[in-house]
Amino acid sequence: QSVLTQPPSASGTPGQRVTISCSGSSSNIGSNTVNWYQQFPGTAPKLLIYSNNQRPSGVPDRFSGSKSGTSASLAISGLQSEDEADYYCATWDDTLFGGGTKLTVL
């Protein structure tokens, strides 16, 4: 069980806005930035958000990140079927990962 807590699952319908939370403590999220990764089954993770809210080039602006205190969130707006994947938060310079959230698009 990870120190960073994510809901095991989340779901939404196409076009909807979905948020995935990542809860930590003052010693991890509270004092470090958060990164987010997307992983499809059988493939390597892909960087989605870095430094709380920075989007790498090529990542659609439907994806956004935020951090407040000891928690962080990933928001996906205009949900699409191809967004169905596992999502992981990470902090402490990517030495600490959340347990992951499986996003289902209904």
Partner 1 sequence: EVQLLESGGGLVQPGGSLRLSCAASGFTFSSYAMSWVRQAPGKGLEWVSAISDSGGNTYDADSVKGRFTISRDNSKNTLYLQMSSLRAEDTAVYYCAKRSQYSNNWYTDYWGQGTLVTVSS
Interacting residue ranges for partner 1, rule: CB under 8 A: 2, 32-33, 35, 37, 43-47, 50-51, 54, 56, 88, 90, 93-100
Nearer to partner 1, 17 or 66 (CB): 66
Q: Which residue has the tokens 């994510």?
A: 6
63 beta partners: 76
**Min separation Cβ 88 and partner 1, Å:** 6
Of the pair 81, 93, the CB lying nearest partner 1 is at 93
Q: Annotate 33-50 with b (16+ C-beta within 10 A) or e (fewer).
A: bbbbbbbeeeeebebbbb
- Min. distance of Cβ 23 from partner 1 in angstroms? 15
Which is nearer to partner 1, 12 or 99 (by Cβ)?
99
Minimum distance from residue 92 beta carbon to partner 1 (Å): 9
